[in-house]
Amino acid sequence: MMKNKIILVALTTALIVFAGCKKDFDDLNKNPYATTITSIGPLFNTVTASLRLGWNEQFYVHNEVLYPQTQLAALTSQAWFNLSIGTEEIWTEYYVALAHIRDIERRLEAIDDPAHPDSLDNVRAMVKILLAYKTFRVTDLFGDMPFFDAGRGYEGTEFLHPAYDSQEDIYLFLLDELKWASEHISLVNETSTGGTFYSIAKYDKFFDGQMLRWKKFANSLRLRHAMRLSEKRPELAAEIISDIIGNNLPVIKGAESVVMMPRAQSWLRTSTNWSFREHKNLRMGTTIRDAMSTNDSINGSGFNDPRAFLFFETNNAGNWVAFPQIPNANTPPAGGIPYGLHRDLNYTIKGTDNIYSPFNYYLIRDENDIPEIILTGAEFHFILSEAYFRGIGVTLDANEAATEYFTGVIASMEFWDQMHDNSAIWLYTSPLYDQANPYDAANKIFFLENDEEKLDLLYAQRWLDAFRQPWEAYSLARRTNRTPREGAPLNFFRLPYPPSESEHNSVNWSAQSAAMGGDLSSVKVWWME
């Protein structure tokens, strides 16, 4: 991970900032609410900004690997064999942010107020939640990773080459941290000791200082990852799910969502169009077409899911044609320029050899109003539906499961519809979109008698809701092995560690590689059966 460079950069930055803020720390030890406290807020904002998806991550990991592996899309040609460029970016961005988080934690310790020890709880909780989200994402992609001693280079040279920690230990620690965060977030200003909670609301570009949303996010992450480890640690999964559902803890659900919204956060989402425009090779595949339609008519009349018209669009000839998920030697090659910026002025021109349906241009083109999705409200209902179907943390109840499935599908439809409506540049949508009935997909579960078929339908809908979260669909596919799929079962279970890790943390990388039987994509991550 270019560990030396990352840690040294973080160390240098921390020392510079620390030196520049020494006078502030002297004041802060006297008054933790002094107006001079400015160092933690900008650092926190930097960590929040790191939630944005990387350019190379989207190009080399999402488009080249995760979309075809999950079969949320079809890869028409594997022209790029540079996965390591994407893994390097994910790895490096994470450990830079981790160093910032460790620095924030140190600064919080330095300004503890003995008279009001809980005055920093809200800020601590926010940092823990960001740490959990970011770390879960990386460990779910790679498996075991340096964590407990990582990001601490400024504490001493012994931390420059951190050992790998087990994914199990990381998971258990993060779930405890999220529980602490949920329990300690306060929605009032006054602490239990009569003090005032320290706030960095003006630096919170994520939730604008709304602590209830932070509490909901913490519980939703607990729920997501409790279900993820349900095959490996069913008792723990049941305990967490029971705690959240049984105690009616606040969560992100229904019309709510957690997103990185460019316009609201003052940044441009230029990376997504670049990744599609330069990559060029993703199209609607037969797997997702069949999951959203009743037939393969090229006029689009078979689609019974309105999201199909938001996820994809017609080919250059105006037809809905899917690329075979498992192509053969006789499959006509894909081509065209459906993601080129020329379409801003010449929307209909996709190239005469664009014979397969591409991703919807506006979905990947809008730089201001189409968000990067972290968590949708529909996910809560899908998780709860699975819990009822399987009796995890709640009493097994197929009727409740079906009701939560229905609610989740409708919430997902509304989320994507709102995304479409909020886009200032989305100028054209197929007339079929308004004719599609969202209740067709939602009601389908009530016409099935077999509970296993219902569970498969649930997994399919959660998979569809994660259309622009291919890393989440990837985790669902690996955990259940029951998401829509053509051909052989999934056998790509993790991303290999980036090459820089073997170069700059070679001793620990070698030990980890040997312990897992090789740094291979066929090695299962801990929570898989």
pLDDT, position 228: 98
Q: What is the Cα–Cα distance from 227 to 379, expressed in whole angstroms?
A: 11
Q: What is the Cα–Cα distance from 380 to 387, expressed in whole angstroms?
A: 10
The angle that helices 470-480 and 121-142 make with each other, rounded to 10 degrees, is 60
Q: Which residues of 269-304 are buried (b: 16+ CB within 10 A; e: fewer)?
A: bebbbbbbbebbbbbbbbbbbbbbbeeeeeebebbb
Please, which residues have CB within 8 angstroms of residue 59's CB and are 6 or more apart in sequence?
80, 85, 86, 274, 275, 278, 279
% of the chain at pLDDT higher than 90 = 88
Q: Strands, E, within 287-330: which ranges?
A: none
CA-closest candidate to residue 164, choices 484, 493, 449, 519? 519
User: pLDDT by residue (tens digit) across 323-380?
Assistant: 999 999 999 999 999 999 999 999 999 999 999 999 999 999 999 999 999 999 999 9
Q: What is the Cα–Cα distance from 336 to 355, expressed in whole angstroms?
A: 8
Is the pLDDT reported for residue 142 higher than 80? yes
7 vs 357, residue with greater confidence: 357
Is the pLDDT reported for residue 106 higher than 80? yes
User: pLDDT by residue (tens digit) across 413-423?
Assistant: 999 999 999 99
% of the chain at pLDDT higher than 70 = 93
250 vs 78, residue with greater confidence: 250
Q: What is the Cα–Cα distance from 186 to 190, expressed in whole angstroms?
A: 9
Q: Tell me if residue 160 falls in helix, strand or coil.
A: coil
Give the distance from CA 155 to its chain's centroid. Answer: 31
The mean-pLDDT minimum among 148-157, 175-184, 404-413 falls in 148-157
Instruction: Measure CA of the first residue to CA of the last residue in the chain; give whole Å.
Output: 28
- CATH architecture, domain 1-233+498-529: Alpha Horseshoe (1.25)
Mean pLDDT, to the nearest integer, of 141-163? Answer: 94
Give the distance from CA 60 to its chain's centroid. Answer: 16
Q: What is the Cα–Cα distance from 160 to 210, expressed in whole angstroms?
A: 37
| Cα-only R_g, the chain | 24
Residues 28/36, Cβ–Cβ less than 8 Å: yes
DSSP 386-440: HHHHHTSSS---HHHHHHHHHHHHHHHHHHHHHHHHH-SS-----THHHHS-HHH
CA-closest candidate to residue 140, choices 378, 472, 461? 472
User: pLDDT by residue (tens digit) across 229-257?
Assistant: 999 999 999 999 999 999 999 999 999 99
Give the distance from CA 98 to its chain's centroid. Answer: 17
pLDDT, position 375: 98
The identity of residue 323, as a single letter, is F
Could you say which DSSP state residue 97 is in? H
Mean per-residue pLDDT over the chain, rounded: 92
Kindly report the pTM of this predicted structure: 0.92
The angle that helices 234-246 and 167-184 make with each other, rounded to 10 degrees, is 10
The angle that helices 22-30 and 3-20 make with each other, rounded to 10 degrees, is 60
CA-closest candidate to residue 267, choices 427, 59, 57, 53? 53
CA distances to 240, 378, 384 from 246, rounded to whole Å, are 10, 19, 12
Is the pLDDT reported for residue 26 higher than 50? no
List the beta bridge partners of residue 145. 165
Residues 498/91, Cβ–Cβ less than 8 Å: yes
Residues 341/277, Cβ–Cβ less than 8 Å: yes
Is the pLDDT reported for residue 7 higher than 50? no
**Three-class SS string for 176-209?**
HHHHHHHHHCCCCCECCCCCECCCCHHHCCCCCC
